[in-house]
Chains A and B, each alone.
Chain A
Amino acid sequence: MESNAGTTEPRSNLTASDGAQVTALESLHFTDEIHRLISAPVTDSSTSFMALLELPPPQAVELLHSSDSPKLLATSSPNVEDFKGSFHFPSNTGLIERDARFSGEANNSNGKRNSPEPKDLSANPEKAVKSEPAETESSQPLVSDPALEKRSIKRKDRENKVKGSTKKSKTAANESSEDAEKLPYVHVRARRGQATDSHSLAERARREKINARMKLLQELVPGCNKISGTALVLDEIINHAQSLQQQVEFLSMRLAAVNPRIDVNLDSILTSESGSLMDSNLPSLVMPVMWPEVQGNGHRQQYLHQWHVDALHQPVWGREEVCNNYITPENSLLTYDSSTNSETLHANQLKMEL
Protein backbone atom coordinates (compact mmCIF):
# COMPACT_ATOMS: atom_id res chain seq x y z
CA MET A 1 0.00 0.00 0.00
CA GLU A 2 1.49 3.22 -1.09
CA SER A 3 0.10 5.18 1.76
CA ASN A 4 1.80 2.91 4.20
CA ALA A 5 5.03 3.29 2.37
CA GLY A 6 4.54 6.98 2.58
CA THR A 7 3.95 6.80 6.27
CA THR A 8 6.85 4.61 7.13
CA GLU A 9 9.26 6.96 5.53
CA PRO A 10 8.48 10.02 7.63
CA ARG A 11 8.19 7.89 10.66
CA SER A 12 11.73 6.79 10.32
CA ASN A 13 12.78 10.34 10.77
CA LEU A 14 11.09 10.70 14.08
CA THR A 15 13.15 11.54 16.99
CA ALA A 16 12.01 8.81 19.28
CA SER A 17 14.86 6.47 19.74
CA ASP A 18 12.79 3.45 20.41
CA GLY A 19 10.32 4.03 17.68
CA ALA A 20 12.59 3.85 14.71
CA GLN A 21 13.52 0.25 15.06
CA VAL A 22 9.95 -0.94 15.22
CA THR A 23 8.63 1.31 12.53
CA ALA A 24 8.82 -1.21 9.76
CA LEU A 25 7.38 -3.83 12.04
CA GLU A 26 4.51 -1.59 12.94
CA SER A 27 3.64 -0.84 9.40
CA LEU A 28 3.52 -4.52 8.57
CA HIS A 29 1.35 -5.25 11.53
CA PHE A 30 -0.77 -2.35 10.67
CA THR A 31 -1.55 -3.52 7.16
CA ASP A 32 -2.48 -6.90 8.55
CA GLU A 33 -4.79 -5.37 11.03
CA ILE A 34 -6.36 -3.13 8.47
CA HIS A 35 -7.06 -6.12 6.31
CA ARG A 36 -8.49 -7.99 9.21
CA LEU A 37 -10.62 -5.08 10.14
CA ILE A 38 -11.96 -4.65 6.65
CA SER A 39 -12.74 -8.29 6.22
CA ALA A 40 -14.40 -8.55 9.61
CA PRO A 41 -18.10 -9.23 9.29
CA VAL A 42 -19.76 -5.92 9.60
CA THR A 43 -23.34 -5.89 8.57
CA ASP A 44 -24.26 -2.32 9.05
CA SER A 45 -23.06 0.77 10.74
CA SER A 46 -24.94 0.06 13.90
CA THR A 47 -23.25 -3.25 14.53
CA SER A 48 -19.82 -1.88 13.93
CA PHE A 49 -20.69 0.80 16.31
CA MET A 50 -21.76 -1.74 18.85
CA ALA A 51 -18.37 -3.31 18.55
CA LEU A 52 -17.07 0.07 19.39
CA LEU A 53 -19.16 0.22 22.48
CA GLU A 54 -17.48 -2.70 24.03
CA LEU A 55 -14.44 -0.57 24.34
CA PRO A 56 -14.06 1.96 27.03
CA PRO A 57 -15.77 5.11 25.93
CA PRO A 58 -12.83 7.40 25.45
CA GLN A 59 -11.00 4.92 23.36
CA ALA A 60 -14.03 4.28 21.24
CA VAL A 61 -14.48 7.95 20.69
CA GLU A 62 -11.00 8.20 19.51
CA LEU A 63 -11.47 5.42 17.11
CA LEU A 64 -14.44 7.26 15.75
CA HIS A 65 -12.40 10.36 15.47
CA SER A 66 -9.67 8.62 13.67
CA SER A 67 -12.10 7.41 11.07
CA ASP A 68 -14.18 10.52 10.81
CA SER A 69 -12.03 13.51 11.29
CA PRO A 70 -10.40 14.72 8.15
CA LYS A 71 -7.59 16.44 9.84
CA LEU A 72 -5.66 14.48 12.33
CA LEU A 73 -3.16 16.05 14.49
CA ALA A 74 0.15 15.02 15.77
CA THR A 75 0.61 11.73 17.40
CA SER A 76 2.78 10.96 20.24
CA SER A 77 6.18 9.66 19.68
CA PRO A 78 6.25 5.94 19.64
CA ASN A 79 7.62 4.71 22.86
CA VAL A 80 8.12 1.09 23.23
CA GLU A 81 9.07 0.87 26.83
CA ASP A 82 6.51 0.41 29.50
CA PHE A 83 4.12 -1.25 27.24
CA LYS A 84 1.90 -3.01 29.63
CA GLY A 85 -0.17 -0.22 30.86
CA SER A 86 1.20 3.06 29.87
CA PHE A 87 0.92 5.74 27.38
CA HIS A 88 3.59 8.15 26.74
CA PHE A 89 2.77 11.60 25.80
CA PRO A 90 4.93 13.07 23.15
CA SER A 91 7.93 15.07 23.97
CA ASN A 92 8.13 18.56 22.76
CA THR A 93 10.58 17.99 19.98
CA GLY A 94 8.70 15.03 18.62
CA LEU A 95 5.58 17.09 18.51
CA ILE A 96 7.18 19.95 16.74
CA GLU A 97 8.58 17.72 14.08
CA ARG A 98 5.26 16.10 13.57
CA ASP A 99 3.61 19.42 13.30
CA ALA A 100 5.78 20.31 10.43
CA ARG A 101 5.08 17.08 8.74
CA PHE A 102 1.41 16.90 9.28
CA SER A 103 0.45 19.99 7.46
CA GLY A 104 1.47 18.42 4.23
CA GLU A 105 0.00 15.01 4.79
CA ALA A 106 -3.07 13.49 3.25
CA ASN A 107 -5.86 12.59 5.52
CA ASN A 108 -5.64 8.88 5.08
CA SER A 109 -2.00 8.69 5.68
CA ASN A 110 -2.56 10.76 8.75
CA GLY A 111 -4.98 8.28 10.08
CA LYS A 112 -2.81 5.38 9.22
CA ARG A 113 0.26 6.88 10.61
CA ASN A 114 -1.44 7.56 13.83
CA SER A 115 -2.55 4.04 14.36
CA PRO A 116 0.59 2.00 14.19
CA GLU A 117 2.18 2.51 17.46
CA PRO A 118 4.16 -0.11 19.19
CA LYS A 119 1.29 -1.70 20.88
CA ASP A 120 1.42 -5.10 19.37
CA LEU A 121 4.25 -6.06 21.58
CA SER A 122 2.13 -6.47 24.61
CA ALA A 123 0.29 -9.65 25.10
CA ASN A 124 -2.48 -8.27 27.19
CA PRO A 125 -4.86 -5.90 25.59
CA GLU A 126 -4.25 -2.50 26.98
CA LYS A 127 -7.08 -1.31 29.01
CA ALA A 128 -5.98 1.80 30.68
CA VAL A 129 -5.62 5.09 29.09
CA LYS A 130 -3.12 6.83 31.17
CA SER A 131 -4.93 10.02 31.73
CA GLU A 132 -8.15 8.26 32.53
CA PRO A 133 -7.39 5.35 34.76
CA ALA A 134 -10.63 5.45 36.63
CA GLU A 135 -13.11 4.72 33.97
CA THR A 136 -11.07 2.00 32.41
CA GLU A 137 -11.42 0.06 35.61
CA SER A 138 -15.12 0.28 35.32
CA SER A 139 -15.31 -0.48 31.68
CA GLN A 140 -12.90 -3.34 31.64
CA PRO A 141 -15.45 -6.08 31.14
CA LEU A 142 -16.61 -4.30 28.06
CA VAL A 143 -13.27 -4.63 26.42
CA SER A 144 -13.11 -7.52 24.08
CA ASP A 145 -11.98 -6.13 20.81
CA PRO A 146 -9.27 -6.63 18.27
CA ALA A 147 -6.02 -5.07 19.11
CA LEU A 148 -6.01 -2.59 16.33
CA GLU A 149 -8.94 -0.63 17.54
CA LYS A 150 -7.50 -0.40 20.98
CA ARG A 151 -4.26 0.83 19.70
CA SER A 152 -5.67 3.42 17.46
CA ILE A 153 -7.91 4.48 20.24
CA LYS A 154 -5.16 4.92 22.69
CA ARG A 155 -3.27 6.73 20.13
CA LYS A 156 -6.17 8.93 19.49
CA ASP A 157 -6.53 9.71 23.13
CA ARG A 158 -3.05 11.05 23.17
CA GLU A 159 -3.79 12.98 20.07
CA ASN A 160 -6.79 14.50 21.69
CA LYS A 161 -4.75 15.66 24.56
CA VAL A 162 -2.24 17.09 22.25
CA LYS A 163 -4.73 18.50 19.84
CA GLY A 164 -4.96 21.90 21.30
CA SER A 165 -1.31 22.53 21.13
CA THR A 166 -0.50 21.45 17.64
CA LYS A 167 0.02 24.28 15.29
CA LYS A 168 -0.33 26.62 18.17
CA SER A 169 1.92 26.65 21.04
CA LYS A 170 5.39 25.69 21.73
CA THR A 171 4.78 27.23 25.06
CA ALA A 172 3.52 24.05 26.56
CA ALA A 173 3.30 24.27 30.23
CA ASN A 174 3.23 20.57 30.93
CA GLU A 175 5.57 17.96 29.78
CA SER A 176 4.44 14.65 28.55
CA SER A 177 3.96 12.33 31.38
CA GLU A 178 5.64 9.04 31.82
CA ASP A 179 4.45 6.14 33.73
CA ALA A 180 1.89 3.68 34.46
CA GLU A 181 -1.84 3.66 34.47
CA LYS A 182 -1.98 4.41 38.14
CA LEU A 183 -0.92 7.97 37.50
CA PRO A 184 -3.54 10.32 38.88
CA TYR A 185 -2.39 13.30 36.90
CA VAL A 186 -3.84 14.33 33.65
CA HIS A 187 -1.32 15.96 31.45
CA VAL A 188 -2.78 18.48 29.13
CA ARG A 189 -1.10 20.98 26.98
CA ALA A 190 -1.98 24.57 27.28
CA ARG A 191 -3.17 26.26 24.19
CA ARG A 192 -1.67 29.42 23.01
CA GLY A 193 -3.16 32.43 24.64
CA GLN A 194 -5.01 30.46 27.27
CA ALA A 195 -4.51 30.35 30.95
CA THR A 196 -2.08 27.80 32.14
CA ASP A 197 -2.93 27.52 35.78
CA SER A 198 -3.84 24.15 37.06
CA HIS A 199 -7.50 24.87 37.63
CA SER A 200 -8.36 25.87 34.13
CA LEU A 201 -6.31 23.05 32.73
CA ALA A 202 -8.08 20.53 34.88
CA GLU A 203 -11.35 22.09 33.93
CA ARG A 204 -10.50 21.86 30.29
CA ALA A 205 -9.43 18.23 30.60
CA ARG A 206 -12.66 17.45 32.35
CA ARG A 207 -14.67 19.22 29.71
CA GLU A 208 -12.89 17.33 26.99
CA LYS A 209 -13.63 14.07 28.69
CA ILE A 210 -17.28 14.96 28.94
CA ASN A 211 -17.41 16.03 25.33
CA ALA A 212 -15.80 12.83 24.17
CA ARG A 213 -18.35 10.75 26.00
CA MET A 214 -21.19 12.89 24.79
CA LYS A 215 -20.07 12.29 21.24
CA LEU A 216 -20.11 8.59 21.87
CA LEU A 217 -23.59 8.81 23.25
CA GLN A 218 -24.62 10.75 20.20
CA GLU A 219 -23.41 7.98 17.98
CA LEU A 220 -25.22 5.42 20.04
CA VAL A 221 -28.62 6.99 20.11
CA PRO A 222 -30.07 7.02 16.61
CA GLY A 223 -30.79 10.40 15.20
CA CYS A 224 -28.52 12.36 17.45
CA ASN A 225 -25.81 12.84 14.93
CA LYS A 226 -27.38 15.80 13.24
CA ILE A 227 -28.39 17.56 16.39
CA SER A 228 -26.07 20.20 17.66
CA GLY A 229 -26.25 21.40 21.19
CA THR A 230 -25.93 19.48 24.36
CA ALA A 231 -29.42 20.11 25.63
CA LEU A 232 -31.16 18.68 22.58
CA VAL A 233 -28.86 15.71 22.46
CA LEU A 234 -29.56 15.01 26.10
CA ASP A 235 -33.25 15.29 25.27
CA GLU A 236 -32.91 12.60 22.66
CA ILE A 237 -30.91 10.40 24.97
CA ILE A 238 -33.50 10.72 27.67
CA ASN A 239 -36.29 9.89 25.27
CA HIS A 240 -34.42 6.90 23.98
CA ALA A 241 -33.70 5.55 27.44
CA GLN A 242 -37.29 6.05 28.48
CA SER A 243 -38.62 4.33 25.40
CA LEU A 244 -36.31 1.39 26.03
CA GLN A 245 -37.50 1.10 29.59
CA GLN A 246 -41.09 1.21 28.44
CA GLN A 247 -40.40 -1.48 25.90
CA VAL A 248 -39.04 -3.68 28.66
CA GLU A 249 -42.20 -3.13 30.63
CA PHE A 250 -44.43 -3.99 27.73
CA LEU A 251 -42.45 -7.03 26.76
CA SER A 252 -42.49 -8.35 30.29
CA MET A 253 -46.24 -7.87 30.40
CA ARG A 254 -46.52 -9.69 27.13
CA LEU A 255 -44.45 -12.55 28.40
CA ALA A 256 -46.44 -12.63 31.58
CA ALA A 257 -49.47 -13.41 29.51
CA VAL A 258 -47.90 -16.66 28.44
CA ASN A 259 -48.02 -19.80 30.52
CA PRO A 260 -45.07 -19.93 32.92
CA ARG A 261 -44.25 -23.52 32.10
CA ILE A 262 -42.47 -22.23 29.07
CA ASP A 263 -39.51 -21.19 31.16
CA VAL A 264 -38.55 -24.70 32.09
CA ASN A 265 -38.65 -25.82 28.53
CA LEU A 266 -36.61 -22.88 27.42
CA ASP A 267 -33.96 -23.71 29.92
CA SER A 268 -33.63 -27.26 28.77
CA ILE A 269 -33.46 -26.04 25.22
CA LEU A 270 -30.78 -23.58 26.13
CA THR A 271 -28.59 -26.05 27.88
CA SER A 272 -28.64 -28.27 24.86
CA GLU A 273 -27.96 -25.40 22.51
CA SER A 274 -24.38 -24.57 21.85
CA GLY A 275 -24.67 -22.03 19.10
CA SER A 276 -26.06 -18.56 19.12
CA LEU A 277 -29.42 -18.32 20.74
CA MET A 278 -30.72 -15.54 18.66
CA ASP A 279 -31.02 -17.65 15.56
CA SER A 280 -34.14 -19.29 14.37
CA ASN A 281 -33.19 -22.34 16.41
CA LEU A 282 -34.89 -20.91 19.38
CA PRO A 283 -38.31 -20.37 17.90
CA SER A 284 -38.30 -23.69 16.07
CA LEU A 285 -37.43 -25.64 19.20
CA VAL A 286 -39.78 -23.72 21.35
CA MET A 287 -42.68 -24.04 18.99
CA PRO A 288 -43.72 -27.66 19.51
CA VAL A 289 -43.51 -27.12 23.24
CA MET A 290 -45.33 -23.85 23.41
CA TRP A 291 -48.26 -24.55 21.29
CA PRO A 292 -50.46 -26.51 23.70
CA GLU A 293 -49.66 -24.14 26.51
CA VAL A 294 -50.19 -20.73 25.07
CA GLN A 295 -53.36 -19.23 26.35
CA GLY A 296 -55.77 -17.12 24.50
CA ASN A 297 -55.07 -13.59 25.50
CA GLY A 298 -55.26 -11.82 22.22
CA HIS A 299 -57.28 -8.93 23.52
CA ARG A 300 -54.72 -7.98 26.05
CA GLN A 301 -51.92 -8.17 23.61
CA GLN A 302 -53.67 -6.04 21.10
CA TYR A 303 -54.30 -3.44 23.72
CA LEU A 304 -50.72 -3.70 24.80
CA HIS A 305 -49.54 -3.08 21.32
CA GLN A 306 -51.63 -0.01 20.94
CA TRP A 307 -50.21 1.37 24.09
CA HIS A 308 -46.76 0.41 23.00
CA VAL A 309 -47.03 2.35 19.79
CA ASP A 310 -48.69 5.36 21.35
CA ALA A 311 -46.32 5.67 24.23
CA LEU A 312 -43.32 5.51 22.03
CA HIS A 313 -44.49 8.42 19.98
CA GLN A 314 -44.93 10.73 22.87
CA PRO A 315 -41.89 12.52 24.17
CA VAL A 316 -43.10 12.23 27.68
CA TRP A 317 -40.68 12.78 30.46
CA GLY A 318 -42.71 11.58 33.37
CA ARG A 319 -42.88 7.88 33.16
CA GLU A 320 -45.21 7.50 36.05
CA GLU A 321 -48.36 8.73 34.42
CA VAL A 322 -47.84 6.52 31.42
CA CYS A 323 -47.45 3.46 33.60
CA ASN A 324 -50.49 4.31 35.64
CA ASN A 325 -52.50 4.83 32.55
CA TYR A 326 -51.79 1.50 31.08
CA ILE A 327 -52.07 -0.52 34.24
CA THR A 328 -55.64 0.45 34.98
CA PRO A 329 -57.04 -0.69 31.65
CA GLU A 330 -55.13 -3.93 32.07
CA ASN A 331 -57.07 -4.71 35.19
CA SER A 332 -60.24 -4.82 33.23
CA LEU A 333 -58.77 -7.38 30.88
CA LEU A 334 -57.58 -9.83 33.46
CA THR A 335 -59.95 -12.59 32.48
CA TYR A 336 -58.27 -15.10 30.28
CA ASP A 337 -59.80 -15.75 26.96
CA SER A 338 -59.42 -19.32 25.93
CA SER A 339 -60.56 -19.06 22.39
CA THR A 340 -57.85 -20.40 20.18
CA ASN A 341 -59.22 -18.89 17.02
CA SER A 342 -58.88 -15.32 18.14
CA GLU A 343 -55.49 -16.12 19.52
CA THR A 344 -54.09 -17.20 16.21
CA LEU A 345 -55.51 -14.15 14.55
CA HIS A 346 -54.00 -11.80 17.09
CA ALA A 347 -50.71 -13.58 17.07
CA ASN A 348 -50.52 -13.06 13.35
CA GLN A 349 -51.31 -9.41 13.72
CA LEU A 350 -48.65 -9.04 16.36
CA LYS A 351 -46.10 -10.71 14.22
CA MET A 352 -46.81 -8.42 11.36
CA GLU A 353 -46.67 -5.40 13.56
CA LEU A 354 -43.34 -6.42 14.90
Chain B
Amino acid sequence: MCPHTSLKQQFLKKWIMGLQRCSFSKKNMSILERKKTIKLSADIAMASARNGTTRWSRALISNASKDGSDNRLVQQILGPDSNTPAATTTNKAGTRRASVCKKIVKRSHQIRRRRRKCVAAAPVKAVTSSISEHLVRKRRQVLKTLIPGGEFMDEICLIEETLDYITSLRVQVDVMRSVASACFSQS
Protein backbone atom coordinates (compact mmCIF):
# COMPACT_ATOMS: atom_id res chain seq x y z
CA MET B 1 0.00 0.00 0.00
CA CYS B 2 1.78 3.06 -1.23
CA PRO B 3 0.51 5.64 1.25
CA HIS B 4 1.60 3.56 4.18
CA THR B 5 5.17 3.03 3.12
CA SER B 6 6.53 5.51 5.60
CA LEU B 7 4.57 3.92 8.38
CA LYS B 8 5.79 0.51 7.35
CA GLN B 9 9.37 1.66 7.30
CA GLN B 10 9.03 3.27 10.67
CA PHE B 11 7.46 0.19 12.15
CA LEU B 12 10.05 -2.10 10.64
CA LYS B 13 12.91 -0.01 11.90
CA LYS B 14 11.58 0.16 15.43
CA TRP B 15 10.77 -3.49 15.45
CA ILE B 16 14.21 -4.54 14.33
CA MET B 17 15.80 -2.25 16.87
CA GLY B 18 13.67 -3.68 19.61
CA LEU B 19 14.43 -7.22 18.59
CA GLN B 20 18.11 -6.46 18.53
CA ARG B 21 18.02 -5.10 22.04
CA CYS B 22 16.54 -8.27 23.45
CA SER B 23 18.15 -10.71 21.10
CA PHE B 24 21.13 -11.40 23.33
CA SER B 25 18.95 -13.44 25.64
CA LYS B 26 17.39 -15.37 22.86
CA LYS B 27 19.80 -18.24 22.69
CA ASN B 28 18.09 -20.41 25.24
CA MET B 29 14.53 -19.32 24.93
CA SER B 30 11.88 -21.76 23.90
CA ILE B 31 9.88 -21.07 20.85
CA LEU B 32 6.94 -19.78 22.82
CA GLU B 33 9.06 -17.25 24.60
CA ARG B 34 10.57 -16.19 21.34
CA LYS B 35 7.17 -15.81 19.83
CA LYS B 36 6.05 -13.74 22.76
CA THR B 37 9.08 -11.52 22.45
CA ILE B 38 8.59 -11.09 18.77
CA LYS B 39 4.94 -10.26 19.15
CA LEU B 40 5.59 -7.92 22.02
CA SER B 41 8.31 -6.08 20.21
CA ALA B 42 6.14 -5.83 17.12
CA ASP B 43 3.22 -4.47 19.10
CA ILE B 44 5.31 -1.96 20.92
CA ALA B 45 7.00 -0.88 17.74
CA MET B 46 3.60 -0.36 16.18
CA ALA B 47 2.36 1.57 19.16
CA SER B 48 5.42 3.74 19.40
CA ALA B 49 5.17 4.50 15.72
CA ARG B 50 2.12 6.48 16.68
CA ASN B 51 4.18 8.54 19.13
CA GLY B 52 1.52 8.55 21.76
CA THR B 53 -1.04 10.33 19.69
CA THR B 54 -3.66 7.64 19.81
CA ARG B 55 -5.12 6.21 22.95
CA TRP B 56 -4.80 2.60 22.01
CA SER B 57 -1.07 2.97 21.50
CA ARG B 58 -0.59 4.54 24.89
CA ALA B 59 -2.79 1.92 26.51
CA LEU B 60 -0.89 -0.87 24.81
CA ILE B 61 2.45 0.42 26.00
CA SER B 62 1.26 1.01 29.53
CA ASN B 63 -0.35 -2.42 29.71
CA ALA B 64 2.84 -4.03 28.54
CA SER B 65 4.94 -2.11 31.03
CA LYS B 66 2.59 -2.84 33.90
CA ASP B 67 3.31 -6.52 33.83
CA GLY B 68 6.35 -7.41 35.85
CA SER B 69 7.90 -9.94 33.55
CA ASP B 70 7.52 -7.87 30.43
CA ASN B 71 8.56 -4.65 32.03
CA ARG B 72 12.24 -5.13 31.47
CA LEU B 73 11.65 -6.02 27.89
CA VAL B 74 9.50 -3.00 27.33
CA GLN B 75 12.04 -0.72 28.90
CA GLN B 76 14.71 -2.20 26.71
CA ILE B 77 12.71 -1.82 23.60
CA LEU B 78 11.49 1.64 24.25
CA GLY B 79 14.71 2.95 25.63
CA PRO B 80 14.55 6.24 27.48
CA ASP B 81 11.02 6.98 26.52
CA SER B 82 8.82 9.51 28.18
CA ASN B 83 5.61 7.96 26.97
CA THR B 84 5.24 5.34 29.65
CA PRO B 85 4.72 7.51 32.73
CA ALA B 86 2.26 9.67 30.89
CA ALA B 87 0.38 6.64 29.72
CA THR B 88 0.05 5.18 33.16
CA THR B 89 -1.29 8.38 34.62
CA THR B 90 -3.89 8.75 31.93
CA ASN B 91 -4.95 5.19 32.45
CA LYS B 92 -5.35 5.70 36.17
CA ALA B 93 -7.47 8.73 35.60
CA GLY B 94 -9.35 6.72 33.08
CA THR B 95 -10.08 3.94 35.51
CA ARG B 96 -11.42 6.34 38.09
CA ARG B 97 -13.54 8.05 35.52
CA ALA B 98 -14.64 4.73 34.16
CA SER B 99 -15.80 3.45 37.53
CA VAL B 100 -17.80 6.59 38.10
CA CYS B 101 -19.23 6.39 34.64
CA LYS B 102 -20.13 2.77 35.13
CA LYS B 103 -22.17 3.59 38.21
CA ILE B 104 -24.00 6.30 36.39
CA VAL B 105 -24.61 4.05 33.43
CA LYS B 106 -25.90 1.29 35.65
CA ARG B 107 -28.29 3.64 37.34
CA SER B 108 -29.55 4.97 34.07
CA HIS B 109 -30.04 1.45 32.83
CA GLN B 110 -32.20 0.66 35.80
CA ILE B 111 -34.24 3.76 35.27
CA ARG B 112 -34.63 2.97 31.63
CA ARG B 113 -35.73 -0.55 32.40
CA ARG B 114 -38.32 0.74 34.82
CA ARG B 115 -39.54 3.21 32.27
CA ARG B 116 -39.74 0.59 29.60
CA LYS B 117 -41.95 -1.57 31.80
CA CYS B 118 -44.29 1.35 32.37
CA VAL B 119 -44.74 1.99 28.71
CA ALA B 120 -47.34 -0.64 27.97
CA ALA B 121 -48.44 0.05 24.45
CA ALA B 122 -45.15 1.09 23.01
CA PRO B 123 -45.15 1.60 19.27
CA VAL B 124 -43.40 -1.05 17.26
CA LYS B 125 -40.72 1.31 16.11
CA ALA B 126 -39.64 2.06 19.64
CA VAL B 127 -39.49 -1.62 20.49
CA THR B 128 -37.39 -2.52 17.47
CA SER B 129 -35.10 0.41 18.03
CA SER B 130 -34.53 -0.64 21.59
CA ILE B 131 -33.70 -4.14 20.40
CA SER B 132 -31.27 -2.79 17.87
CA GLU B 133 -29.77 -0.51 20.48
CA HIS B 134 -29.30 -3.52 22.69
CA LEU B 135 -27.54 -5.42 19.94
CA VAL B 136 -25.33 -2.51 19.07
CA ARG B 137 -24.47 -2.00 22.69
CA LYS B 138 -23.43 -5.61 23.06
CA ARG B 139 -21.17 -5.36 20.06
CA ARG B 140 -19.68 -2.16 21.36
CA GLN B 141 -18.76 -4.01 24.50
CA VAL B 142 -16.95 -6.63 22.50
CA LEU B 143 -15.15 -3.97 20.51
CA LYS B 144 -14.04 -2.37 23.72
CA THR B 145 -12.41 -5.57 24.82
CA LEU B 146 -10.61 -5.88 21.51
CA ILE B 147 -9.04 -2.49 21.31
CA PRO B 148 -6.33 -1.93 23.92
CA GLY B 149 -7.58 0.61 26.38
CA GLY B 150 -11.00 0.60 24.86
CA GLU B 151 -12.98 0.36 28.05
CA PHE B 152 -12.35 3.97 28.87
CA MET B 153 -13.44 5.42 25.60
CA ASP B 154 -16.78 6.79 24.61
CA GLU B 155 -18.41 5.88 21.32
CA ILE B 156 -16.84 8.46 19.12
CA CYS B 157 -13.34 7.83 20.39
CA LEU B 158 -13.91 4.11 20.18
CA ILE B 159 -14.71 4.22 16.52
CA GLU B 160 -11.79 6.48 15.75
CA GLU B 161 -9.42 4.28 17.67
CA THR B 162 -10.79 1.25 15.89
CA LEU B 163 -10.04 2.88 12.58
CA ASP B 164 -6.50 3.66 13.56
CA TYR B 165 -5.98 0.32 15.21
CA ILE B 166 -7.16 -1.63 12.21
CA THR B 167 -4.92 0.28 9.84
CA SER B 168 -1.91 -0.22 12.05
CA LEU B 169 -2.74 -3.89 12.47
CA ARG B 170 -2.83 -4.20 8.72
CA VAL B 171 0.53 -2.54 8.40
CA GLN B 172 1.92 -4.83 11.06
CA VAL B 173 0.59 -7.93 9.34
CA ASP B 174 1.94 -6.80 6.00
CA VAL B 175 5.40 -6.12 7.32
CA MET B 176 5.57 -9.30 9.33
CA ARG B 177 4.34 -11.34 6.44
CA SER B 178 6.88 -9.91 4.05
CA VAL B 179 9.66 -10.46 6.54
CA ALA B 180 8.53 -14.01 7.12
CA SER B 181 8.29 -14.70 3.42
CA ALA B 182 11.72 -13.18 2.96
CA CYS B 183 13.04 -15.52 5.60
CA PHE B 184 11.60 -18.52 3.93
CA SER B 185 11.77 -17.52 0.34
CA GLN B 186 15.12 -19.12 -0.14
CA SER B 187 14.14 -22.58 -1.23
* B75 interface residue per 8 A CB criterion: no
Tell me, in angstroms, the Cα distance from A206 to B12 when the chains sit together. 37
Q: What is the distance, in angstroms, from A57's C-beta to the closest C-beta of chain B?
A: 6
- The B interface is mostly helix, strand or loop, or mixed, namely helix
Q: Using a CB-CB cutoff of 8 Å, which residues 4-38 of chain B contact chain A?
A: 4-6, 8-9, 12-13, 16-17, 19-20, 23, 26-27, 30-32, 34-38
Contact partner, B20, options A135, A242, A264, A290, Cβ 8 Å: A264
Tell me, in angstroms, the Cα distance from A343 to B146 when the chains sit together. 36
Known interface pairs A251-B176, A263-B16; A235-B139 also in contact (CB < 8 Å): yes
Most chain A CB within 10 A, of B4, B159, B173, is at B159
Q: Using a CB-CB cutoff of 8 Å, which residues 115-143 of chain A contact chain B?
A: 135, 138-142
Known interface pairs A217-B162, A230-B136, A238-B143; A267-B20 also in contact (CB < 8 Å): yes
Q: What is the distance, in angstroms, from B133's C-beta to the closest C-beta of chain A?
A: 9
Contact B173 A248 (CB under 8 A): yes
Q: Total A-B pairs in contact (CB under 8 Å)?
A: 204
- A286: chain B residues at CB < 8 Å are 182-183, 185
Contact A252 B42 (CB under 8 A): yes
Contact B184 A262 (CB under 8 A): no
Contact partner, A270, options B12, B165, B185, Cβ 8 Å: B12
- A344: chain B residues at CB < 8 Å are 187
- B95: chain A residues at CB < 8 Å are none
Q: Which of B50-58, B102-110, B119-127 contacts A (4 or more CB under 8 A)?
A: B50-58
Q: What is the distance, in angstroms, from A350's C-beta to the closest C-beta of chain B?
A: 6
Contact B180 A254 (CB under 8 A): yes
Contact B184 A351 (CB under 8 A): yes
- Cβ proximity bits A274-299 to B, threshold 8 Å, 1 near / 0 not: 00111000110011001100100000
Contact B162 A267 (CB under 8 A): no
* B101 interface residue per 8 A CB criterion: no
- Cβ proximity bits A14-31 to B, threshold 8 Å, 1 near / 0 not: 000000000000000000
* A47 interface residue per 8 A CB criterion: yes
Chain B interface residue count, CB cutoff 8 Å, equals: 71
Contact B139 A234 (CB under 8 A): yes
Contact B146 A220 (CB under 8 A): no
* B100 interface residue per 8 A CB criterion: no
Contact partner, B32, options A142, A330, A350, Cβ 8 Å: A330
Contact B181 A354 (CB under 8 A): yes
* B68 interface residue per 8 A CB criterion: no
Contact B159 A283 (CB under 8 A): no
- Cβ proximity bits A172-208 to B, threshold 8 Å, 1 near / 0 not: 0000000000000000000000000000000000100
- B180: chain A residues at CB < 8 Å are 251, 254-255, 258
A-B contact pairs, 23 of them (CB 8 A): A47-B3, A51-B2, A54-B3, A57-B159, A57-B163, A138-B53, A206-B156, A217-B159, A220-B163, A230-B132, A238-B142, A248-B169, A249-B39, A252-B38, A256-B31, A266-B16, A266-B179, A267-B16, A267-B20, A287-B182, A334-B31, A348-B187, A350-B184
A→B interface (CB under 8 Å) = 41, 43, 46-47, 50-51, 53-54, 57, 135, 138-142, 144, 206, 209-210, 213-214, 216-217, 220-221, 229-231, 234-235, 237-238, 240-242, 244-245, 247-249, 251-258, 260, 262-264, 266-267, 270, 276-278, 282-283, 286-287, 290-291, 294, 300-301, 317, 327, 330-331, 334, 343-344, 347-348, 350-351, 354
